[in-house]
Structure formats: C-alpha cells, structure tokens
Amino acid sequence: MTTTPEAILQQYFGYNEFRSLQKDIITQVLSGQDTLVLMPTGGGKSICYQVPALMLEGVTIVVSPLIALMQDQVDALQRNNIASTFYNSTQSREEQRIIEQKCKDGEIKLLYVSPEKLVSGGFIEFLKHIKVSLFAIDEAHCISSWGHDFRPEYTQLKLLKEQFAHVPIIALTATADKTTRNDILRQLNLENPEIFIASFDRKNIRLHVTPGQDRIKKIIKYLETRPDQSGIIYCLSRNSTEKLAAKLQGAGFSADYYHAGIDSVRRAQVQQSFLRDDTQIICATIAFGMGIDKPNVRFVIHYNMPKNVEGYYQEIGRAGRDGLKSDAILFYSYADVKILREIIADIENPDFKELQYAKLDRMLQFADADICRRRILLNYFNESLTQNCGNCDVCRNPTEKFDGTILAQKAISASIRLKQQVGINTLIDVLRGSKNQHIVENGYDQVKTFGAGREASFQDWRAYLQQMINLGFFEIAYDEKLALRVTELGQQVLKKEHQALLSKPTEKTFAKAKTEKTKTKKQTLSEALFESLRTLRKQIADEQSIAPHIIFDDATLTDMSKKRPYTKKDFLEVSGVTQAKLEQFGVSFIKGIIKVSVEQFKEGATVKGASHLVTYQLHKQGLTPKQIASERAKTESKALNPVTIEGHLISLYQKGYPIDLMHYTSAEAVRDIQQVLHETSSEDGFKPIHEHFGGKYSYFEIKIAKTLLGEVNA
C-alpha cells in the first residue's frame, strides 16, 4: 500500500470524505479479513471494494450478476483512469486471452466476472496463476434461498474459500433480513467476518402509498408535473407493461416497456435507451432493474403491490441513487393481493410457501399502515427509528394518535410469558381469553396474561399488533413458524421507558400531500443552470456513445449549479470531479456555466461572479475600463464606475484568467511603483504613492504594480 484511502477517494472518485461506514469497511478489508456489508442502494457499496483494490497488490475479482451492469461499472471506472475490465461470454477467446495476460502483467486492478464464469474450471485455474488480492461479491443476497432474488449459480461461490483460503472476501448486498444474512455467511464459509450494517434509511426517497383506483389517470397527472425526469414503473404482468407504456406514449410521454418475454437484442436496446436518457420512462416487470446503474432515476412507481418488503425496498432503491430527492409511489388493491396469493399457492415446498405468505402479509401491512412508513420499512430490516420521518404520505397527512402503552405492554408481556414462540393469531386468542382447542391443549389458558385484552375485538387487536410490529416493538421470526419476538424497543415499552403511540383502527383514506414551499430566486436560477448543464451533458454523451451519468451524475451537476465554477481550479472543488474528468470535460462545462451565468445576469438576476464575467467578455473585445463601463451602462440599470471595472480585471487576473495587466501600464511604471511600495507601509493605502509621483501614475497602475509584486514575493 503506497497511499491513503482518502487520497485514492479524492484522486479517482472526486470526493473529499467517505460516507458513513465506508472508511471502517475499507480498513477491515485492507487488514485481510472477511467482511459482510449491508448497505442500501446509493449508499456507496462499490467504493468499499474499489478503494482497497487500488491499494492492494494484485487483482480484485468482482462477482456481478449481469453483463450489462458490469459493462456500465467498467465504463465509469475507466473514465476515471482506473485499470479495470470485464470477462464474460460476449468476448472472443482472443479478447479473453489478452485480458488474462494483462492480469498476469499487473495491468488490471479490477476484473468483473459473472458467478457462472467465476466457478468454471478454466477460470479457476487461471486465477491460480495470478495474484488475487480480494474477492468482492456484489448482490450477495442472491446466494440465499431465503432471499427475494435467489440465483442457484451463486451457491457455487462457496468453493472460493476452498480454493483460495487466504484471499479475503467482501460480500455486499442492499437488502437482507437476518435469515438471509446468516445464510450468506454460511454459504460463503466466511471466516470470523466483520458485519457492517449501514442505515437502511434513504432519507431522499419520499414514500407514498395510494389505493389502486384510477391508477393510470393518477400516474399521468403525476408525470405531467415532472417533465424530462427518468423513472421506472413496475407492473405485475408482462401484458400490463405493454398496455401501460402504450397509454403513456399516447399521452405524449417518452415511455417503453421491458420484460423477460422480449428478445435479448430488444431488451438491450430498451436498457441502453433508458441509460442514455433517450427514453424517460420504463414500464417493466421485476426483470428490469438489477442491471441498471442509473443514478438519476427520480421516481419508482409500483403499479401493483410487490410480493414482499425486500423486493419493494430494493426496487424503490433504484430511485435517487445520486442522493437527490426522489419519489416512491405504491398503488395497491386487494385484487393485487389475490393474484400474488395465487402465485404463492403454486409453490411446492410447504415451508417456503408459508414463508412467502407471511412476507406478503408484511407487505400488505406496510400498505395498510397509518403510521410512519419509513419506521415500518426500517424495522423490517431490524433498524429502529424512534421518531417519525415527516416525509411519507402518513406523516404529511397524519391520523389522530392515542397513548397505547398499556395495550402494548399487555401484548409484550403475553408474548414473553408464552416464551416468544407464538404468532399473531395465537397471541390475540390468549389476550382475548379464547378457549379454543389449540389454546387449551398447549396450556396457554394458564398464563397470567390470559384474557388481559378482552376489551378489544380480534380485528382491532390484529390492527394494533401490526402497528406494534411496524413500530419496532416486535419482529417476526420467519424461519421459526412466524413467532413474534420482543425487540429491545419493545422491552423499553414494557419498562415504561418508551411511549407507544397507536392509531385507532379506521377505514384507510389518503389525503393530498402538502404543497411544497415556494422556491427562492436563487434556487430557480440554479435549476435553470442545472437544466442547461444536463442538456450539455446529453450532447457530449451522445457524441461519445456513453450514458450521461458516466460524465457527471445529477448530484455533481447540482453542486456545479450551486458553486458556479468559472475556473479549472474552482471546477476541481465540485463534488465528484476528478482530475481525469476535469481534463476530459472541464473546458466544455466551464464555458457552459459562464454562458448561462452571463445571460442570467444580463436579464437582471443577481448571479455570483457574473458581473466579473461580463467585464471579461468586453475586455476580450479590446475595450478599456472606461469603455467597458460605458458599454455596460447601455444595458444595465445600475451604472458602474471605471474603477469598479479595474477591480474586476485585477480580480480576474488573480483567479487565473488571461488578462494582460501590462496592457494598462508600462515596465517603467511598475518598476518605479514597486520600489516605492517596498519603502511604504501597506496600511497607508495607495494615496501616498499617488502623491509621491505627483499623479504621474494612476491608481489602477499602482494596483497593478502591487498585484505583480505580490507574485514576485509569493
């Protein structure tokens, strides 16, 4: 290792600091230890292995499930001068031999492969002849049959520890509950791994759930307020994707459809068109998404309810990967639930079928809930949020709450007395004092809390318990017959250390979201510049046949729009700009920023640094400070003094603009003035010097001499 993680981050990725947990994970990987990382989409998982890859001796092998995904990742890395490539079935044997030789020669730092390619005999033998520094397994949840996206080929990755016992493994996933997490560790045979669990709270994604009536009308109304924004609409069936895309096209939107039933060439075309911002909206089944590395997806809409919370979370995670505000909208109806239950009914394995039914029930509870949806979502992944988010549809349109602490204590106490081995229905029967056969045979009617909750109906108790699960007082043990387990937060409620605010069961209604605050003039100007830069980015991307985000993502353009860098030095201060990106695109974007800033200034807007830029443009035409002031007076409401223009020119020179200050003075004048400057206190100002020469040299010439003297003494 020859440098620091921070230096690598700045040099190759253009960021000044790591996000939460990234530095700790990188330190763990560099120490040679196995690691499991759970980090939401957009949280910066790839940095956790890309930075170590650039610091360790040898090649990092990255296991990625889809060819399109690895190609996109490699494109982005190569743009930042990172030695990386992929190895897959689209290449000829000769191309693969060249890659193998480059790996042997130490010319490649990251090599992306599919799981099936990695475990093939020939490839394993090749790896034994090169220095492998690290195995990075992306989308690691695919290894678990408990997960929502099980892929059998991932299970073969267990041979990595058998064949390369001393090479550390980092397994990464954006979504995995406790059961799936443990399965990943077991199947990969990780040795004493450190487990890092980042917060699953994607604060930039606004959650909204609404009934399924008039879905198309609601979607069109929503899209009309978001022109030119990219989004994905997930549908349950292939037929629905095609019909919805046709309706959106008919309404004037740039839309297409994607599902597993279309041929591979067509799928690749749709995907590329979306990545390159040629198509704005994709109506798709869940077959679409994992292979999409597109940071500027501004919304994800579920036309139908997903079958489980893990899938829902991963799909909405495709919105706002750049950290900017995005929407997740879920339409649901009991007709959707009926279809999903019919699909699950065809599963042959009874235990797996029961598990899928339970997960569907949790998804329904999420859709039906009248408490903060973000709290429900985070609790599902065993993360407690003690305060409401204030940004989901429930928080924005709150229902009336009551102190349900005593109710919650009864339920928690009953669960503990039942040794936390029963599910919701049995717990309710005990609370309500039911004498049914199951209760009596198991002796549940003998526990102290039997009948402690007779005041509430079965349905009301079910609603209350669903809220308690959603609030994080209980978690469901899916692999242990759906038993309710009391959480640490639940224990706090029992001990009266935390209040349980519940909603009375009512018929679900959805109110309109509160209106957004009026934008300031500054925000409006920044957004106008952002749109101009987005257009410029698209032009450059089309010329180079690459996805726009590979140039700069929306977050970088947003920072650019706020900072308005007019020089290369300032451009490097923009988040996400590397030296390589500056050299490739800096001049074009700086020119674009200057052009828009000057136009906005001339239209009467107050724009940082724009007045100097107008002066600079007139200076390039050969005008003197007096002529520049006169020319600007013709179009600007506020007259400028020539002295102000002189100040602009000196400031521009100091910032690196090609201003020839000697054009306004002579070598003799500079020499005379600098000699006096050496003998004069700077606190006296310029007046004594002006008087010393009897007015022979102007104040502008004195300022020029001092500016040039500062360079000599620097």
Strands 297-302 vs 194-197: parallel, antiparallel or unpaired: unpaired
Specify the pLDDT at position 713.
46
From residue 585, give the alpha-carbon distance in Å to each of 11, 165, 276, 560, 564.
16, 44, 17, 13, 15
The residue to which tokens 């940082």 are assigned:
608
User: Is residue 666 classed as helix, strand or coil in its secondary structure?
Assistant: coil
What confidence score (pLDDT) does residue 511 get? 38
Residue 43: which of 275, 194, 204, 169 has the closest Cα?
204
In 5-57, the DSSP E strands lie at 35-38
Say what the pLDDT of residue 657 is.
Answer: 86
Q: How confident is the model at residue 174 (pLDDT cuts 50, 70, 90)?
A: confident
So what's the pLDDT on residue 710? 72
- pLDDT tens digits along 552-592: 999 999 999 999 998 888 899 999 999 999 999 999 999 99
Q: Report whether pLDDT(517) > 80.
A: no
- Tell me the pLDDT band of 518, cut-offs 50, 70 and 90: low
Predicted confidence at residue 170, as pLDDT, reads 97
Query: What is the mean pLDDT of the segment spanning 300-306?
Result: 96
Local confidence band at 289 (pLDDT 50, 70, 90 cut-offs):
low
pLDDT per residue as tens digits for the range 333-363: 867 888 898 899 999 989 889 989 999 999 9
Per-residue pLDDT at 671 exceeds 70: yes
Q: CB under 8 Å to 146, separation ≥6 — which residues? A: 177, 179, 180, 183, 355, 478, 479
The confidence score (pLDDT) of residue 506 equals: 61
Distance CA 349, CA 280 (A): 40
Integer Cα distance of 676 and 143 in angstroms? 78
- Cβ–Cβ < 8 Å for 319, 328: yes
What pLDDT digit, counting tens, does each position of 445-462 carry? Answer: 999 999 999 999 998 998
List the strands of the sheet with 281-284, edge to edge.
Answer: 205-211, 326-332, 297-302, 230-234, 281-284, 255-258
Tokens of 42: 């957009």
Is the model's pLDDT at 33 over the cut of 60?
yes
**Mean pLDDT score across all residues of the chain:** 89
* The pLDDT of residue 516 is above 60: no
Cβ neighbours of residue 331 closer than 8 Å, sequence gap 6 or more: 210, 211, 212, 215, 218, 301, 302, 303, 304, 305
Residues 493-517 have a mean pLDDT of 70
Does the pLDDT of residue 705 top 50, yes or no?
yes
What per-residue confidence (pLDDT) applies to 510? 35
The pairs formed by 601-610 with CB atoms below 8 angstroms and a separation of 24 or more are 602/635, 602/636, 604/637, 605/521, 605/525, 606/521, 607/525, 607/564, 608/564, 609/564, 609/566
Q: What is the pLDDT of residue 290?
A: 60
Please write the tens of the pLDDT for every residue from 209-228.
Answer: 988 888 999 999 999 999 88
Structure tokens at 300: 């994800």
pLDDT value for 513: 42
Alpha-carbon 22 to chain mean position: 14
